């Protein structure tokens, strides 16, 4: 089974133990860096490396 290159905001929020709304608010307030956006639909996309960075920002290593 091939692993996808990007994760959705919902998947990342779940991995971080927060809601999708909290993820978006943290980005809006500058706590998290802005996510990459999909060129076709504008949705946020994250890599597995991004998730590790966000975990470190939250103090969850």
CATH tag, 9-57: 1.10.1660.10
Under a CB-based contact definition with an 8 Å cutoff, are residues 51 and 60 in contact? no
> 33-56: per-residue pLDDT in tens?
999 999 999 999 999 999 999 999
Global pTM exceeds 0.85: yes
The predicted pLDDT at position 2 comes to 64
The full set of domain ranges for the chain reads 9-57
Q: Which of 2, 3, 7 is CA-nearest to residue 36?
A: 7
């Amino acid at each position: 089974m091939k692993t996808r290159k990007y994760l959705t905001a919902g998947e990342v929020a779940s991995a971080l133990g927060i809601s999708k709304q909290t993820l978006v608010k943290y980005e809006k307030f500058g706590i998290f860096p802005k996510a990459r956006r999909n060129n076709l639909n504008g949705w946020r996309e994250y890599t597995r490396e991004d998730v590790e960075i966000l975990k470190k920002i939250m103090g969850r290593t």
